[in-house]
Amino acid sequence: MSAAEFITKNPIARFVSRPWPVPGENRLVWRMALLVVVLELAGRGGSKTMSLLKLHALCWATKSPQTLDSLDALLSNQLEARSLGVSIDPFLNSALDVAIAEKLVTQAKSNLGLSNDGRLFAQEIIAEQMLKPERTAIQRIKGRATEATLKRVLGLTGG
């Protein structure tokens, strides 16, 4: 029997497709939870509004202790914006679309805010002690992360 015949008659491997792990932050419901919590904790006024830029920046800051420190340093004028990787996260925009469709988040011109349902959701999340590291990060940075500072430092125009 030739080698090829032998291998055909005695298959050594079967390939089975297995499911793929999804990082926790890519679970849509988690993303939406992060969005409403960021808006609730750092938004302005009764509707808890903020610009899209600020939303992206704050969500980016909650990714890890390193990103939080980076944004903090940036906002306290200790770093050049160019040396950072602050990015616009396309996944966040998808989650935002869903949040708006679910009527948790409202959109007025270039500002985003929370509906009543959105605020309830955020408050329940906070009451249940969920998303702790992310909330701590927001509390730490929200003082420095004003709309004006962000616009200046991140050098982006528009929403």
Binding residues (CB under 8 A) for other proteins: these are 8-11, 16-33, 64, 91, 94-95, 98, 101-104, 117, 120-121, 124-125, 128, 130-131, 133
State in angstroms the smallest separation of the CB of 149 from other proteins. Answer: 28
Q: Between 78 and 129, whose beta carbon lies closer to other proteins?
A: 129
CB of 65 to other proteins, least distance (A): 9
Q: How far is the CB of 79 from other proteins (least distance, A)?
A: 23
Q: Please report how the helices 90-101 and 52-61 are oriented relative to each other, as an axis angle in degrees rounded to 10.
A: 120
Q: Sheet containing 105-108: which strands, arranged edge to edge?
A: 50-51, 111-114, 105-108
Beta carbon nearer to other proteins, 64 or 77: 64
CA separation for the pair 99, 111 (Å, rounded): 14
Q: Which is nearer to other proteins, 125 or 150 (CB)?
A: 125
Residue number, 2 or 10, with CB nearest to other proteins: 10
Q: Are 121 and 36 in contact (CB under 8 A)?
A: yes
To the nearest whole angstrom, how small is the minimum distance from the Cβ of residue 46 to other proteins?
18
Q: What is the dihedral of CA 17, 98, 93, 18, to 10 degrees?
A: -10
Closest CA to 42 of 118, 159, 145: 145
